Amino acid sequence: MFDVYLNHKRDLLVVRRGSSLPVGNCAPGKWDKRKRRTGTVSDEIRSAVQRQGYYMRKASELRPN
């Protein structure tokens, strides 16, 4: 299971359920936890969480240039 967080810029942060937020780029004060937890995520997100403890994606990375 994973906890999903969004910030005011609609950036996405995914961590393992019960884990604390990572420090650095992911300042804890700006993230809002989504009420639903998710059990399934993509392979990319799952491997990033296993490797570094979290997955973060900026909303600007999704917009076409």
35 vs 41, residue with greater confidence: 41
Instruction: List the chain domain ranges.
Output: 2-61
Would the pLDDT of 51 be above 70? yes
Confidence label for 48 from pLDDT (cuts 50, 70 and 90) = very high
Whether residue 29 is predicted with pLDDT greater than 80 in this model: the reply is no
Number of residues assigned to the chain: 65
DSSP string computed for the chain: -EEEEEETT--EEEEETTPPPPSSSS-GGGEEE-SS-BS---HHHHHHHHHHSEEEE-GGGTS--
Percent of the chain with pLDDT over 70: 83
Q: Tell me the average pLDDT across 2-16.
A: 88
pLDDT surpassing 60 at residue 49: yes
